[in-house]
Copies of this chain bind each other. A is one copy, B any other.
Amino acid sequence: MRIMITGIDGYLVLPLTQHLASLGHEIAGVDNMLRRKMVGEMGSLSAIPIEPMAIRLQAFYDHFGDKLRFYQGDVTDYSFTYEVMREFKPEAIVHLGEIPSAPYSMINVHKSNQTMMNNIVGTQNLLFCMRDIVPDCHMVKLGTMGEYGTPNVPIPEGFFEMEYKGKKEVMPFPRIPGSWYHLSKVHDTQNIMFACRIWGLRSTDIMQGVVYGTRTDTFKDDPRLRTRLDFDEAFGTAINRFACQAAIGMALTPYGKGLQKRGFLPIRDSIQCLTIAINNPPKPGEYRVFNQFEEVYSISDLALKVKEVGDEIGLNVQINPIENPRVEKEDHFYEAEHRCLLDLGYKPTHDMKKELRFMLEDLLPNKGRISSRSHSLLPSIRWSGKRDKCRPL
């Protein structure tokens, strides 16, 4: 299949591309190389050293031949997007080329506008090009479970049958997102739904939980193809930050009460799920939502798991909660459905501790890199708009 993948320089995308290339798909990889700049802007770097794109491309060629064509450019530039799609004529687009950080979007008005414009315009350009060039193409779009927020009711997969004043209708489930970034994803969701409705396009919108881990089943044993792992307050998830803190002997710092619950899945499962979505396209005109995660943990649970694994290998991990820079519920109901992917054959791996052990194994040799940027592990971007380091509780 001809698959166009945006954001190919990203954490999840590089291994996904290897997996799809190893299955024989033809890949057009697109990236504007923004992620590296943004992490640099946070005064940080990837804990695991990564190669420049040119070296990665050479490694791809060595392993997969000419299965990958790389287009450096920005999907928010319509003429660029149009040319890539006109030339490559994708049968599927895996759209992962968005700015992925809630804290980054909360820094100030400029980061908020940048995140919103980048994500919305990029997706719009892809939708219009699909309509005009490849109307039968399937867009697999990366959304996030964070679009739903944390309502006091169970979360379905995108839609629910509502009853109001005696009448019934299947409606999109209301979203209560928690940052400008999450809002940009909700806006995408509504825009894609509309494009499918009026133009007969097809899309799978993936509400993905937090992805973690450093290894996948299809990683070639080639250091040139290692993917990034961020730990700064903007681009590092809680689990990445905890693993990096454990690796350098710094106390883990859950935010606030730590009872915030989220869905998680290892990167190898994410790749499995995205591949399932690609292989099982919806009907023309169909817009569907998959909730893609495996298990729900609270942030405190996560910290305890990292401590347990770290202690097992002699790291003596401490946990010191700090002020929560976010405005969010710290103790709440959380229950989300996630049947669609299981029904299509997703086999969860269910072993967070094993993945955490791999993570620590891969991070320990890079202690020096992490230590040199350890300031970026502690949050200063507050949802209030103020920016100063959060204090221990």
Contact = CB atoms under 8 A, between A and B. Distances in A.
Interface stretch (A2-10, A63-71, A125-133): A125-133
A153 B169 contact: yes
B171 A164 contact: no
Using C-beta atoms within 8 Å of the partner chain, give the interface range for chain A. 35 or more
A61 interface: no
Interface in A140-169: 151-154, 156, 160, 162-165, 167-169
Given A121-B117, A167-B333, A177 B153 contact: no
A14 interface: no
B120 A124 contact: no
A199 interface: yes
Interface stretch (A43-51, A106-114, A295-303): A106-114
Nearest to A326: B198
Nearest to A116: B120
A197 to B, nearest CB: 7
Contact of A167 (B112, B154, B197): B154
Interface stretch (A186-194, A261-269, A352-360): A186-194
A191 B183 contact: yes
A174 interface: yes
A127 to B, nearest CB: 8
A176 interface: yes
A109 B78 contact: yes
Nearest to A152: B169
Nearest to A160: B164
A151 B171 contact: yes
A174 B171 contact: yes
Nearest to A125: B109
Copies of this chain, complex-wide, total: 2
Given A171-B151, A183-B191, A183-B194, A131 B385 contact: yes
Contacts of A113: 78, 121, 124-125
B160 A154 contact: no
Interface in A317-331: 327
Nearest to A110: B78
Contacts of A163: 153, 163
Interface in A93-124: 108-110, 112-113, 116-117, 120-121, 124
B172 A176 contact: yes
Contacts of A152: 167-169
Nearest to A383: B198
A36 interface: no
14 contacts: A78-B113, A109-B128, A117-B121, A120-B187, A131-B385, A132-B385, A153-B163, A153-B168, A153-B171, A156-B164, A172-B176, A178-B194, A180-B191, A198-B383
Interface of A: 78, 108-110, 112-113, 116-117, 120-121, 124-125, 128, 131-132, 151-154, 156, 160, 162-165, 167-169, 171-178, 180, 183, 186-187, 190-191, 194, 197-199, 327, 333, 383-385
